[in-house]
Structure formats: C-alpha cells, structure tokens
Chains A and B, each alone.
Chain A
Amino acid sequence: MNTAKYPFAVLSASLFTVMLITPISSISNLIWLNSLNMSIGIFTSLEVLLFDFQRLGILLYGIIIIAFGIAFSIASFLSNYINFSIKYLYALAGACAIGIAMYLIVELLFESELLGGYRTIFGKILHWLAGFFGGYFYYFLISKNYNYTFIIRYLGVLYAYIILGFVLNWIFTPETAAADFGFILKELSDNAQNALLRDFTSFFVATFIFALLGVFTLNPAWFFSAGIIYLGAAIFNLIAIFIHGTEYNHIYIGEILLGLWPISLALIILIKKN
C-alpha cells in the first residue's frame, strides 16, 4: 500500500485540481455572458459548471495526470538535494506542471488558447494557483499511511464522475440524451415523454447517488446496488436482442463494465472486512 499510494495520490490530486480549474473557465464565461444581459440564473450557472466539470474536466484530467506525474517525480528527486520545505516543493511543482501543460497546449494548437479561462493574466494566475494547491494536496495524501479504503474511495469517485455525464445530459439536455438512446423526444406523446424522462433520469441519478454513498460510507451494499442495476440493464439488453428480436447493439459492453466496476469495489470491501 505504501508504494501504491503514490500513483493514486497523483490521480486524486489531479482530480482535485480539475475541480479547481474547470470553474475558472466556467465562471469567466458566465461573467461575460452576464455582461451581455443574458439570463444567467442559478439553474443556468449550475448547468454550465457541471457540464464543464464533466466534459472539459475529463479532457483536463488526462492532461493533468501526465503533467503531475512528471512534475512530482522531479520534485521527489530534487527533494534529496534541495533544502526546501517538501510540501511547498510539491506545491510549486504542481503550479509549474499546470503552467507548462497550458503552454504546450497552446503551442500544439497553433497558438490558440483552448481554455477560455486561461486567456487573461488573471486567469493564468488562477490556473497556476490551482496547480499549487493540487501539489499541496498531493503532499497531504502521500504524507499519510493508507489502507485499501483510499483506493476504493478514489475508484468510487471516478465511477461517479463518469455517471455524472449521463445525469447532466438527462437533466439539462433531455432531447440530446434521449437521441443517444434512439428516442426522438418530440415525436413521443406527452405521457411517453414523461415516462422516458422520469425513468431514465431517475436511473442515472440513483446510481450516481449510490456510488457517492458507497464512497462516503464504504458500505458495499451501495456499490452492489449500482452494479446490479447496470448488470441488469446488460442482461435485459441481451434478452431484448436475442429473444425479443431487437437490433444488435454494443451498449451491453458498457453496461457490463459499469456494472462490474462497483461490484468489484463491493467485493473487495467484503473480502477485506472478512
């Protein structure tokens, strides 16, 4: 576990930094839209923040993992030779990692700023600060001893993060979400639209909540609940294909993965407890 904590600390610190960075672009965008007298309310703001966190965040997450992995490795090496507070060394490494990653993104994209929030000096400083806190959080994580629950919690959060995308689509853009499942929402009757929206939204919101409850409580029942729902979807998908004659699809593969993931976490908890 002592060895395993380092990569999981990088993954966790990266996710933490993503949570700090994505609102910078979202909020700067909302401020600008508000300056044009667009109707920015709580619902709209939440929509932008959550969508950016989920969609932009996943892209940034991959980039920051690589950047932090390199930066913290260098900081760890340098800590053997530099007489400097190690926690601030990691913090500075985090800030540098973000700065260099953002610079490289610009250079690779014909000098275009992919992140709206990074276009101003103030925005750049906020991003570097986010990296600074990400590095500090990394030090916080590696300075403690953990047992297996740290990994369980991280994998549970990551699972919930993925499900969040479905949740957001069904709550804020139901027409698009329905289209992804082959429904043309406008062509359904009112009752059918209602049934579709309430059942599908509930399906994804429930599994999202189950995953989070599993993370917080480490009660395997919550992870089992989420997993059973998706495995059930996979089973009934295959029944629909092979018994009821619907067109073959590959969605069951994703459903099996989304089912096995939390079930695996639940089984690990049970085994470790026993």
Chain B
Amino acid sequence: MKLFLLSFLLLFSMHSFAYKYETVLDNLDDAWSFVFLNEDTILFTEMPGKLKIVSLTNKSIINVGNLPEVEYSGQGGLSEVILDPDFDSNNKIYISYSAKKDNKKITLYLSSAELKNNELVNRKVIFEANAYRRSPAHMGAKIAFLNDGTLLLTSGDGYDHREKAQRLDNHFGKIIRINRDGSIPQDNPFISDPNALSDIYSYGHRNMQGLVVTSSGLIFEHEHGPKGGDELNIIKPSLNYGWPAITYGIDYSGAVISPFTEKEGMEQPLFYWIPSIAPSDMIFYEKDLYPELKNNFLITALVSKDVKQINKNDLKIQKSLFSDLNSRLRNIQDSPKGYIYILTDGSNNKLIKVIPK
C-alpha cells in the first residue's frame, strides 16, 4: 500500500512539473529576436532583413517599412530589436544588424528609429563597430539598457579576429556603452585612455548572445565558447574577460587556443559549460506566473536544445527546462503579464508560448 502511494505521489509530481506548449507562430523566416509591444502584439526581426508586427490573437502580420539594407549571410543579418524605455511616449526602437561598409567588409551597426505607421521614421545609425571583417561570423549584436538609460551592445570577436579582443583599439570582442543618441557617456571606463576606443565598456569577449541588466543594476552576459567553454559572466566596467588568452575550450579544429584557464587581471566566468551548450539568449525572470522560475536566469541553448534555469543566488545550480521541445532554441522573452515565449532557431522557426503549470 505504502509503495502504491509513493508511486502515485511520484507520478503525480512528475506530471505536475510538465509544461505544455502552444505554437503561436510558425514558418518564420529565420526570426532572431522579438519584443512585446503589448501583451497581444510583438515586434520581431528576421535575419534576411525584415521587421514585423504580429498580433498574437488574430495572427495578422505587418511588415515594417524603411529598414536598412543588411548583409544576410553566415551569422549576419538583422539581429536584435529592443524598445526604448520611454517607448510609450517616443515610439523609439533600436535594431542591431550586420551590413557591408561601402560594399566591402562587413561590420555591426546599431540604429535607432521611431516606429510610426508601420514604418521606421527618422532612422539613423548611432553606432558602427570598428570591427570590419570578410566573414559574417560572431557578430554578438545583443542590446540592453542600463538603469541610467545608456545602451549596452555586444560586439563579437569576428572569429578570425579573436586576438583583437585583447586590444582596446577596435570593437572585436567588446561590450560597448553609448548614450541613446550614439554619443559617448563621460563616465565610460576608457574615456581618458588615448589608446582605447572610448565607447568600450569591457573587453576580452568572444560571441556574446545573452545580455541582461537586473533591476538592481547588475549586468550578466553569456557568450559562446569554442569547442567547450561557453561562459556566464557578471560584467563590470573596464574588466578584461580573458578571451582568447584564457579559455576553457579548444578550437573547432582541435587546436589549442590557449593552454591557460586563468590569469591575474582576467576575469573568471561565474559558470562555464563543457561540452558547449551554445547559449543563445537570456532573461532574468522576475514575474509571478511561473513561481518555480522566479528570480532565475533562463538561458536558451542551441546545442543542448533546452533552457537552462540558473538560480541567481547560487549560480552553480542549473536545471534543464523545455527539452521536450527538442529544438534548437534561439530567443526567450517574457510578456508584460509574465508568460514565457520561446523562439526556435533556423529557417521555418516557431514562436512557442509556455503554458504555466
């Protein structure tokens, strides 16, 4: 009898942890990022260079006009979109994308524009990365606002240019901090350094695709490692995060990138993954719809095809969520009411709503 009761309780508890899913959009064209305009409406980017407004209720799709020309190849294209903190009054959005400079080499751009009548109005480039490359790889391209209203943008190491992540005269492997109009904040850490670009906030990064600023102002970032060595970092101004001088991974070819995993003056990650999970996006969930997930980092992963739940207080604990989706996961957001939405990766990808338990 006791065994029966125990089995029943175990079975019940297993089912009570199971999430259900609802596919709200499918057949997307390599959608990369999305943001909620309101509970019912999202704005999302598609890498080939499209920005769309979608009603989640009636599934109507509007193509936003006056977009910049992007270089859609490899890992490049129209990437991230975020809303200005004062979007309700100024209708301003920010988009990151890769494009060719004068039809030659590719770099990362950040533009601001007003979203009016389904068009981008007063669109202007507020940042152009000094990170020109032939191959559209490791762009970074994640954007976040600090609590003081300045912008952070991740600029990846360009794969072939990884050594430049250790130099301050370029934007490879850097987190950038600028004002919303593209000007440089006067309290940037390298503002007085004549040998450094004054918009650099931190350096020594690889390909950063997760960037979160908590309500208390802490900045968390995750980045792809090579073969092994994906990292979760807490970002502080002026610090060197070590890539590629220190790393927990090896090159895809099998070659050693660095035999060192630590050095004084270079920051250690809070957490690293071996083998790689390929972390692609991150949120810090602070709402109440999923009480078991509150105050946790939720990190989507391409290779492990799940969402890693990491407790903010003990960063070493992680659980695997939503692995039954069995898809490479690209992006994760929570709606104004707190529902979690996940974007799968690749062409014909989907937007999936996670139904709370």
Contact A52 B163 (CB under 8 A): no
- Closest B residue to A57 by beta carbon equals B254
Once A44-B259, A119-B160 are accepted as A-B contacts, the answer to whether A110 and B136 lie under 8 Å apart by CB is: yes
In the complex, chain B residues 248-285 whose Cβ is within 8 Å of any chain A Cβ? 250-260, 263
- Min Cβ gap B158→A in Å is 9
Complex CA gap A22/B251 in Å reads 13
- Min Cβ gap A263→B in Å is 29
- Closest A residue to B159 by beta carbon equals A112
Contact of A56 among B74, B159, B255 (CB under 8 A): B255
Contact of A38 among B250, B252, B254, B258 (CB under 8 A): B258
User: Does residue B134 face the partner (Cβ distance < 8 Å to A)?
Assistant: yes
Complex CA gap A59/B254 in Å reads 8
Which A residues touch B235, using CB under 8 A?
none
Which B residues touch A22, using CB under 8 A?
255
Contact B256 A51 (CB under 8 A): yes
In the complex, chain B residues 298-321 whose Cβ is within 8 Å of any chain A Cβ? none
Which B residues touch A29, using CB under 8 A?
255-258
Contact A48 B256 (CB under 8 A): yes
Contact of A52 among B134, B255, B260, B263 (CB under 8 A): B255
User: Does residue A115 face the partner (Cβ distance < 8 Å to B)?
Assistant: yes
User: Does residue A70 face the partner (Cβ distance < 8 Å to B)?
Assistant: no
Contact A47 B256 (CB under 8 A): yes
Which B residues touch A112, using CB under 8 A?
135, 137, 159-160
- Min Cβ gap A36→B in Å is 5
- Min Cβ gap B153→A in Å is 22
User: Does residue A32 face the partner (Cβ distance < 8 Å to B)?
Assistant: yes
Complex CA gap A38/B258 in Å reads 10
- Closest A residue to B254 by beta carbon equals A55
User: Does residue B202 face the partner (Cβ distance < 8 Å to A)?
Assistant: no
User: Does residue A14 face the partner (Cβ distance < 8 Å to B)?
Assistant: no
Contact of A33 among B136, B250, B251, B258 (CB under 8 A): B258
- Min Cβ gap A101→B in Å is 13
Contact B251 A116 (CB under 8 A): yes
- Min Cβ gap A188→B in Å is 20
Complex CA gap A228/B258 in Å reads 37
User: Does residue B122 face the partner (Cβ distance < 8 Å to A)?
Assistant: no
In the complex, chain A residues 21-65 whose Cβ is within 8 Å of any chain B Cβ? 22, 25-26, 29, 32-33, 36, 38-39, 44, 47-48, 51-52, 55-56, 58-59
Complex CA gap A214/B259 in Å reads 32
Once A32-B163, A36-B166, A38-B263 are accepted as A-B contacts, the answer to whether A110 and B135 lie under 8 Å apart by CB is: yes
- Min Cβ gap A175→B in Å is 11
In the complex, chain A residues 50-92 whose Cβ is within 8 Å of any chain B Cβ? 51-52, 55-56, 58-59
Which A residues touch B159, using CB under 8 A?
112
User: Does residue B245 face the partner (Cβ distance < 8 Å to A)?
Assistant: yes
Contact of B252 among A26, A32, A58, A114 (CB under 8 A): A114
Complex CA gap A111/B161 in Å reads 12
Which B residues touch A36, using CB under 8 A?
166, 245
User: Does residue B192 face the partner (Cβ distance < 8 Å to A)?
Assistant: no
In the complex, chain B residues 115-171 whose Cβ is within 8 Å of any chain A Cβ? 134-137, 159-160, 163, 166
| B74, B250, B252, B256 — most chain A CB neighbours (10 Å) | B256
Complex CA gap A52/B166 in Å reads 23
- Closest A residue to B242 by beta carbon equals A36
- Closest A residue to B257 by beta carbon equals A29
Interface residues of B, Cβ cutoff 8 Å to A: 73-75, 134-137, 159-160, 163, 166, 245, 250-260, 263
Pairs of residues from A and B, 9 with the lowest C-beta to C-beta distance, nearest first: A55-B254, A111-B135, A110-B74, A56-B255, A56-B254, A48-B256, A112-B135, A111-B134, A110-B135
20 A-B pairs whose Cβ atoms sit less than 8 Å apart in the complex: A33-B245, A33-B260, A36-B245, A38-B260, A44-B259, A47-B259, A56-B251, A58-B254, A59-B254, A109-B135, A110-B75, A110-B136, A110-B137, A111-B135, A112-B160, A114-B251, A114-B252, A114-B253, A115-B253, A115-B255
